[in-house]
């Protein structure tokens, strides 16, 4: 099975959900750049103070900052069972830097899983999204609500809405995605690493298709 994997797809395509399940089922390390950046911002670290404004506005954090953060998160995982990168790389510059790190260490990517999702679906998904402030489990107000309103089923933590999950900021994130990140589909296709999974309303179907694609 492929086990050094990138998940690529627009905001709201379900990358985080798939990555969390791959981690649970196969013991791979789920590494989400957005999660780590938000944590830095919440903890008000030096990096956090610099990235906060980009996060709030739905703009990309400058490449150098992201690369420094992600290098520290990724390199210790290279000898583990496997990893799934979620939200990184997001620009051509980041993708080339990542290829360089991995190729130098003789551990190139096995696959890039592209979650293909029409824009009409994304808006509903993101604006209905709620995240546990404690453990990060993701819910949706309509399609995947918690059993007790406002509380996480896993740990009882409080469910919150991400600051950038409002419609205005989301539109910006979708524009940024189209301009900066979507071109990576062609970049990885040219490397012969791209596998495509189409999204569906049932997350289980998408997950099974993803596992099948990674097994081929």
Residues that bind ligand ADP (CB under 6 A): 11, 33-34, 37, 54-55, 58-61, 66, 87-90, 94, 164, 173
Residue 4 known to be catalytic: no
Residue 90 known to be catalytic: yes
Residue with the shortest CB distance to ligand ADP: 34
Provide, rounded to whole angstroms, the least separation between the CB of residue 75 and ligand ADP. Answer: 16
Provide, rounded to whole angstroms, the least separation between the CB of residue 148 and ligand ADP. Answer: 25
Active-site residue, from 4, 15, 21, 52: 15
**3-state SS, one letter per residue, for the chain:** CCCEEEEECCCCCCHHHHHHHHHHHHCCEEEEHHHHHHHHHHCCCHHHHHHHHHHHHCCCCCHHHHHHHHHHHHHHHCCCCCEEEECCCCCHHHHHHHHHHHHHCCCCCCEEEEEECCHHHHHHHHHCEEEECCCCCEEECCCECCCCCCECCCCCCEEECCCCCCHHHHHHHHHHHHHHHCHHHHHHHHCCCEEEEECCCCHHHHHHHHHHHHHC
Nearer to ligand ADP, 167 or 216 (CB): 167
Active-site residue, from 3, 92, 107, 162: 162
Provide, rounded to whole angstroms, the least separation between the CB of residue 64 and ligand ADP. Answer: 10
Active-site positions?
A: 15, 90, 129, 162, 173
């Amino acid at each position: 099975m492929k086990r050094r994997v990138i998940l690529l797809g627009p905001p709201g395509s379900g990358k985080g959900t798939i990555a969390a399940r791959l981690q649970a089922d196969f013991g791979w390390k789920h590494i989400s750049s957005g999660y780590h950046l938000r944590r830095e911002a919440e903890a008000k670290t030096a990096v956090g103070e610099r990235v906060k404004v980009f996060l709030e506005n739905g703009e990309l954090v400058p490449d150098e900052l992201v690369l420094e953060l992600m290098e520290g998160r990724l390199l210790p995982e290279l000898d583990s069972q496997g990893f799934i990168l979620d939200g990184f790389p997001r620009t051509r510059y980041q993708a080339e830097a990542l290829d360089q790190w991995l190729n130098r260490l003789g551990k190139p990517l096995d696959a890039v899983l592209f979650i293909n999702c029409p824009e009409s679906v994304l808006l509903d998904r993101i604006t209905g999204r709620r995240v546990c402030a404690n453990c990060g489990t993701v819910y949706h107000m309509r399609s995947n609500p918690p059993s007790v309103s406002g509380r996480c089923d896993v740990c009882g933590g409080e469910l919150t809405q991400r600051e950038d999950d409002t419609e205005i900021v989301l539109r910006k994130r979708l524009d940024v995605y189209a301009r900066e990140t979507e071109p990576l589909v062609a970049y990885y296709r040219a490397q012969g690493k791209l596998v495509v999974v189409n999204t569906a309303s049932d997350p289980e179907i998408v997950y099974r298709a993803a596992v099948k694609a990674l097994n081929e």
